[in-house]
């Protein structure tokens, strides 16, 4: 088997992100023992957390300059780890930080890179990977002769690795002269203003029905807002939307916590959650195609002939979503 280097960076607390631990399990399952390379302000705690992974060596690039995501220092750190370990295959999680820095580092190392990998296995001993093309419509299995071959793996491919102990980290020195970008802080919305939560158990989708005239002839935007935010607050579900609902943003009075980032579907996102609940949504194919990674699907619609009724949902409630969700929130 090839010589493999698994690379991970720490999070703000000095731990390894879940995506890194899942990637480690997947890498071990396919490639056996590997060398580990860690990047962070201080990598000892991260190394200890995976001490029992059977690595041939744990290399570390550490120091304040490597605490935050920054292309120049991350690419330099990856390059140094690859030069030290001289691997044929480099495997890392597809985090935002590595999505930014790994392609450049692969180029510097004279290698090739494939990103968004959703499967990794061996066919006749040969390493093969899987990824989607054309917005999750075509799945390709591919392999490459070029080495080193860099692979960025999506989350959720394997269980997170667990096996803590006491690790010995071999320090790899990387010069940090010539750094022109200073990380002064992080600006992020409040956590309760952030409605897209990839780690959530449940995806809650709101459709255009929330903005339509209801049986009494009234449009009830304030009620809709209260019900949807109430549900999100109580369950910490992730908020998705149909295209029709987010497109109404251009028309004035809308749900102000909703943006095109929430759109699920063919021209939106394809999130991964264990369960999904669609409300006031018709369940048309260009929308439901974005549900392909939702395991258990339920929908609430007034229309008994909607798309959800045509085999798109496991359970469909023909009911008024305002009424049902009010009751659900009360019960929660
Ligand atoms: C090329 C292309 C790409 C597209 N990409 C996407 C995409 O990425 N994502 C996407 O979502 N769409 C996409 N669409 C649009 C898609 O085809 C649908 O038009 C859209 O999903 C409809 O949104 P909706 O179900 O919210 O609205 P509507 O079709 O207007 O349905 C609203 C539903 O709400 C129900 N309703 C109303 N009041 C209530 C109530 N009180 N309780 C319960 N139910 C109620 C109604 O019965 C109705 O079924 C795309 C279309 C095209 C052509």
Is the beta carbon of 320 within 6 A of some atom in ligand 1?
Answer: yes
Is the beta carbon of 322 within 6 A of some atom in ligand 1?
Answer: yes
Instruction: For residues 23 and 103, state if they share a domain.
Output: yes
Instruction: For residues 36 and 157, state if they share a domain.
Output: yes
The verdict on residue 219 lying in a domain is yes
Instruction: For residues 150 and 20, state if they share a domain.
Output: yes
Ligand 1 closest atom vs CA 206 = 26
Percentage of the chain beyond pLDDT 90 is 86
pLDDT digits (tens, 9 = 90+) for 98-144: 999 999 999 999 999 999 999 999 999 999 999 988 766 789 999 99
Instruction: For residues 214 and 322, state if they share a domain.
Output: yes
**Edge-to-edge, what's the strand order for the sheet holding 315-318?**
238-241, 202-206, 273-279, 294-301, 315-318
pLDDT at residue 298 is higher than 80: yes
pLDDT at residue 42 is higher than 70: yes
Is the beta carbon of 305 within 6 A of some atom in ligand 1?
Answer: no
What is the pLDDT, as a whole number, of residue 192? 61
Domain membership of residue 237 as a residue range:
202-331
pTM of the predicted model, to two decimals?
A: 0.69
The verdict on residue 206 lying in a domain is yes
Instruction: For residues 23 and 115, state if they share a domain.
Output: yes
- Among protein residues, the one whose CA lies closest to atom 4 of ligand 1: 286
Is the beta carbon of 267 within 6 A of some atom in ligand 1?
Answer: yes
Lowest mean pLDDT among 7-11, 91-95, 174-178, 230-234: 174-178
Instruction: For residues 30 and 101, state if they share a domain.
Output: yes
Instruction: For residues 21 and 166, state if they share a domain.
Output: yes
Summary mean pLDDT of the chain: 94
Tell me the backbone φ, ψ of residue 160, rounded to 5 degrees: -65, 135
Peptide bond into 320 cis (omega under 30): no
Instruction: For residues 159 and 209, state if they share a domain.
Output: no
The verdict on residue 179 lying in a domain is no
Instruction: For residues 213 and 159, state if they share a domain.
Output: no
Query: What would the mean pLDDT of 8-20 be, rounded to a whole number?
Result: 95
Is the beta carbon of 40 within 6 A of some atom in ligand 1?
Answer: no
Of these ranges, 34-43, 183-192, 213-222, the one predicted with the greatest mean pLDDT is: 34-43
Is the beta carbon of 265 within 6 A of some atom in ligand 1?
Answer: yes
Query: What would the mean pLDDT of 304-312 be, rounded to a whole number?
Result: 96
Query: What would the mean pLDDT of 74-98 be, rounded to a whole number?
Result: 97
Rounded-to-integer distance, Cα 1 and Cα 151, Å: 16
Instruction: For residues 30 and 146, state if they share a domain.
Output: yes
CATH number at residue 135: 3.40.50.620
Is the beta carbon of 81 within 6 A of some atom in ligand 1?
Answer: no
- Of 171, 191, 224, which one is at a domain's C-terminal end? 171
CB 105 within 8 A of CB 78: yes
What's the 282 CA to ligand 1 centre distance in angstroms? 5
CATH number at residue 269: 3.40.50.1220
Ligand 1 closest atom vs CA 320 = 42
Query: What would the mean pLDDT of 224-249 be, rounded to a whole number?
Result: 94
The verdict on residue 315 lying in a domain is yes
- Among protein residues, the one whose CA lies closest to atom 22 of ligand 1: 244
Instruction: For residues 165 and 235, state if they share a domain.
Output: no
Indicate the pLDDT class of residue 253, thresholds 50, 70 and 90.
Answer: low
Instruction: For residues 248 and 115, state if they share a domain.
Output: no
Close Cβ partners of 190 (under 8 Å, ≥ 6 residues apart): none
Query: What would the mean pLDDT of 27-53 be, rounded to a whole number?
Result: 96
Ligand 1 closest atom vs CA 268 = 8
Q: What is the domain count for the chain? A: 2
Is the beta carbon of 207 within 6 A of some atom in ligand 1?
Answer: yes
What are the angstrom distances between the C-alpha of 182 and each of 9, 69, 80, 150, 159? 18, 10, 21, 27, 36
The verdict on residue 265 lying in a domain is yes
The verdict on residue 226 lying in a domain is yes
The verdict on residue 68 lying in a domain is yes
- Among protein residues, the one whose CA lies closest to atom 49 of ligand 1: 282
- Among protein residues, the one whose CA lies closest to atom 11 of ligand 1: 242
pLDDT at residue 252 is higher than 90: no
- Residue tagged 């029905």 (tokens): 209
- Residue tagged 């090839």 (tokens): 2
What is the pLDDT, as a whole number, of residue 199? 84
Is the beta carbon of 288 within 6 A of some atom in ligand 1?
Answer: no
The verdict on residue 176 lying in a domain is no
């Amino acid at each position: 088997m090839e010589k493999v280097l698994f690379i991970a960076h720490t999070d703000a607390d000095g731990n390894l992100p879940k995506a890194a631990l899942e990637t480690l399990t997947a890498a071990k399952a396919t490639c056996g023992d590997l060398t580990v390379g860690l990047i962070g302000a201080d990598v000892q705690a991260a190394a200890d957390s995976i001490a029992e992974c059977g690595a041939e060596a744990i290399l570390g690039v550490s120091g304040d300059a490597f605490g935050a995501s920054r292309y120049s220092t991350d690419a330099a750190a990856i390059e140094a780890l690859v030069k030290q370990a001289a691997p044929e295959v480099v495997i890392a999680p597809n985090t935002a930080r590595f999505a930014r820095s790994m392609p450049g580092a692969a180029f510097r190392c004279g290698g090739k890179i494939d990103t968004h990998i959703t499967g990794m296995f061996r066919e006749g001993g040969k390493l093969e990977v899987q990824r989607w093309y054309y917005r999750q419509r075509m799945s390709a299995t591919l392999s490459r002769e070029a080495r080193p071959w860099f692979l960025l793996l999506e989350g959720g491919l394997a269980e997170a690795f667990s096996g803590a102990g006491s690790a010995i980290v071999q320090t790899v020195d990387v010069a940090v002269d010539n750094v022109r970008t200073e990380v002064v802080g992080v600006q992020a919305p409040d956590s309760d203003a952030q409605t897209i939560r990839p780690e959530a158990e449940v995806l809650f989708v709101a459709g255009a029905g929330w903005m339509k005239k209801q049986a009494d002839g009234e449009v009830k935007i304030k009620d809709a807002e209260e019900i949807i935010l109430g549900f999100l607050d109580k369950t910490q579900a992730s908020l998705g939307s149909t295209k029709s609902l987010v497109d109404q943003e251009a028309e004035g009075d809308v749900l102000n916590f909703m943006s095109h980032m929430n759109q699920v579907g063919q021209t939106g996102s394809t999130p991964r959650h264990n369960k999904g609940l669609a409300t006031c949504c018709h369940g048309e194919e260009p929308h439901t195609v974005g549900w392909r990674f939702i395991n258990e699907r339920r929908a609430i619609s007034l229309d008994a002939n909607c798309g959800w009724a045509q085999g798109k949902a496991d359970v469909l409630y023909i009911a008024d979503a305002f009424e049902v969700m009010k009751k659900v929130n009360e019960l929660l």
